[in-house]
Structure 1
């Protein structure tokens, strides 16, 4: 028997229809907080335009289309169709969420990219990994080991109440395995190939120069605060 329940990963992205033709708000591609060329020479304006305006936009368009089909299937009580649509919703929702985090995780060097200032996050990194350099080496090694496409992540792991380094395949979200994403590194070829060709190790090395640590530190503070509130 087919289950009528959507997976935990998919469920937040599908709004239950209240009737045929029920309205829903559509997902949109978020604007960048910086110009396309601000991340140069680490990431070129050409890649940023292609990545943001084409790849991310495609995930959003496909997510909206998949959601419309799910709502139509719900209205018809077509369980088989709802189940069949779950992979499309999961993949495109992941593409949308992961890239939305990615854009916020980046900032040009002239505007503070790569600078990790004193913060709770900096203290946690030094306590757990010894230094930012050692952390970045671990993230890069794990991300480079991905077979195919995926993401490297610095996360807050609520299960242990500490930072963690993980990878996810394709467009799977860190939240799908119970982690809170803090910093994501896109390991899909479209993120680097025009600039680095097949030398993705250089891309992984250089991207740390444009990490927006203020954004990452804010995500860490929020994750810790939520974790502590749930314990009390």
Structure 2
């Protein structure tokens, strides 16, 4: 069964950009709910296989995709932040410059995409091996509007629960503040693994 991973820092490590109370609720309650939903879906699918009763297969497969993607994206999201933030460098900076022109243009496009996600979802910088390039995806819910085979490198949660206590309905303010806590070292490491 799946378990909620511990945060790689204390609840208040991302202050003042990401407040302690939101981090605690977001991680301990919301992320935990996706882990619980994933475990339930896995259990129900196992029961269906054992009994041969697949009447609810569509429901449980959808729950598996929704909660499984939610668990993975949240795990990656926590990992790609750090208290003091860092600056992009190395191979990821080279590829961002090649694919987007420069880092500021990339940040503007990523920020605009994140602000424009319809409803609940994510903004994700991905490496697409088949295209041999970086792309920015707006992921609705946890699993819609994705591209098969893409590798997530930089993940921003723009569900309201991710920012509402501090930023209320000011998603753009949250996105702007979030750039101060991006852990570019992790993004670069993910990219180096993805291109191998």
TM-based fold match above 0.5: yes
1:39 counterpart residue number: 14
2:119 paired residue among 125, 137, 148: 148
1:11 counterpart residue number: none
- Distance in 1 (CA, whole Å) between partners of 2:152 and 2:107 is 16
2:153 counterpart residue number: 182
2:24 corresponds to 1:49? yes
Question: Is the Cα–Cα contact under 8 Å of residues 86 and 185 in structure 2 kept in the other structure?
Answer: no
What are the residue-to-residue correspondences of 1:64-213 with 2, within 5 Å? 64-109=39-84, 113-117=85-89, 119-172=90-143, 177-213=148-184
- What is the count of residue pairs matched by the alignment? 196
Relative contact order (alpha carbons < 8 A, sep ≥ 6): 1 or 2 greater? 2
Alpha-carbon shift at residue 82 of structure 1 (Å): 2.3
RMSD (Å) for aligned C-alpha atoms: 1.4
Alpha-carbon shift at residue 157 of structure 1 (Å): 1.2
2:34 counterpart residue number: 59
Question: Is the Cα–Cα contact under 8 Å of residues 174 and 180 in structure 1 kept in the other structure?
Answer: no
| 1:6-54: CA deviation from partner (whole Å, max 9, x where unpaired) | xxxxxxxxxxxxxxxxxxxx10011111111110111000000000000
Question: Is the Cα–Cα contact under 8 Å of residues 128 and 150 in structure 2 kept in the other structure?
Answer: yes
Name the SS for the 2:21 alignment partner. Answer: helix
Alpha-carbon shift at residue 125 of structure 1 (Å): 1.2
Name the SS for the 1:79 alignment partner. Answer: coil
Gaps of 5+ in 2: none
